[in-house]
Structure formats: C-alpha cells, structure tokens
Amino acid sequence: MREPAAFLMDEPLSNLDAKLRVQTRAEILRLQQRLETTTIYVTHDQVEAMTMGDRIAVMNLGVLQQVGSPPELYDNPVNIFVAAFIGSPAMNFATAKARDGHLELGGTKLELSGRPAKAAEQNKGRDLLIGFRPEDLELNGHPGSQEVRIPARIDVVEYLGHEELIHGEAEGHEIVALVPSDKKVTAGDEVQFAIHVDKLHVFDPETELSLTAAK
C-alpha cells in the first residue's frame, strides 16, 4: 500500500468547510506531483475537477459524456450537459431562431461568423439553443470588433469585491454576467452585453449536442 500503482479518491473533500477544502486540495496536488502516481479522483464539484485533473471524464446517469483536459471541456463542450456542468458561474442558455447565417433572439438579430454562422445556415428555420459564459460577456464591448450584441435590463447586482455578478433580462431570458466592479452597474440600467462570436456556443435542443464544438 505504500507504493500502489494508482490511488482512488472518492470525494475526499466533500465534508470539509470551504477554507479547509481549498487548503487540502492544494496539498493533494502537491502530493500527487511529488509521488507521480496515477490518481483517479471522483467528485461532484466541477471546481475540484477543473483545478486538479489532467484529464476529466464527465458522466451523467452512468453514461460517459466527454473526456478531455480542463481547457478542452471548457472551450469545446460536446453537449448541453457538459457545457452546463463545467464553469462557475454556469453557462447562460437562450433559445434563438436560426436564419441564413445569423440567429434571431426575440427581436434582436445576432450577426455571426465561423462555426456559429455555419450552424445557423444549416438549420434555417429551427429553434437552436445558444450558450455563452458569464465571464465572456462584456458591457458594451469594443466597436468594430467581431461581437454579438444583446440588449438587456439589469435586475440584480451582486458585489464580489473586484468583480460583480450582474443578472439581466434579455428578450425573455435571464442572463448572468461576471464583470469588473468598476463598471458601476445598478439595478434598472439598460445595457448591451457583447460577446465575441468565437465564444458563442450553439446546441441542437433535440439531440442536446453541440453544433459548434471543434471536431
């Protein structure tokens, strides 16, 4: 047992408080790096998976959904379940109508390029599910850049110190954005969220598979 071929850890941090969980997580990483022993780590906490894993296997109801490195799962989720599970705060989702090379979110036309534009063109007339991460949203963005813009009205602002978690309503959908606190946003403000088109995910709502993930 002193020199096993592999370690199996089944949610070892689940009963610890938040501070001790962070500390112990770092200690396990140091131990694993020193021993260089294969470790299989089971967790429901996606933060633990993202910070501790070299390769992550995401499972749902006993079915393997995707295997990859943390950046692969974060940037290219293969389906809605993986997209919603990986990332904190969770990914935003909204239903949009596919047109010829663009999407319509309520009364807002979303100009696209690259994979999202191809997905819209191939599914003209269908309702698709778009996904975008709170940390990828900017307030107003940079004019002239390749961005999708979504007008919204701010409902709630959660102050987190150097960041703010802002909740807004856009075309009947709730949108959450993580922005620097110096933006000075208040409830009731009318804003435009901007997201670079490369950060936009498009999913088939029937199969729940990604239409934009890199193959």
What is the CATH number for 12? 3.40.50.300
Q: Residue 120: inside a domain, yes or no?
A: no
pLDDT of residue 126: 95
User: By three-state DSSP, how is residue 74 classified?
Assistant: helix
Structural domain includes residue 158: no
Residues of the chain with pLDDT under 50: none
In a domain, 171, yes or no: no
**What is the spatial distance between Cα 128 and Cα 118, in angstroms, rounded to a whole number?**
13
Q: Does any domain span residue 51?
A: yes
Q: Is residue 65 part of a domain?
A: yes
Torsional sign, CA 102, 105, 107, 110: negative
Tell me the residue type at 112: L
Q: Cα(115)–Cα(17) distance, rounded to whole angstroms?
A: 42
**What is the domain count for the chain?**
1
Using DSSP's 3-state secondary structure scheme, residue 198 falls into helix
pLDDT of residue 209: 97
Whole-number Å distance between alpha carbons of 167 and 159: 11
Residue 180 lies in a domain: no
Q: Contact, 162 vs 135, CB < 8 A?
A: no
Q: Which residue has the tokens 């107003």?
A: 140
The span from the CA of 173 to the CA of 186, in Å, is: 19
Flag whether 142 is in a domain.
no
pTM for the full predicted model: 0.88
Q: State the pLDDT at residue 107.
A: 84
Domain range holding 28? 6-85
198 vs 148: CA distance, rounded Å: 10
Q: How far is CA 173 from CA 38, 102, 156, in A?
A: 43, 19, 14
Q: Is residue 74 part of a domain?
A: yes
Cα gap 54→67, rounded to integer Å: 11
- Beta-strand ranges (E) seen in 2-146 are 6-10, 38-42, 56-60, 63-68, 92-98, 102-105, 108-111, 127-132, 138-139
Q: Do residues 208 and 81 lie in contact, with contact meaning Cβ atoms separated by under 8 Å?
A: yes
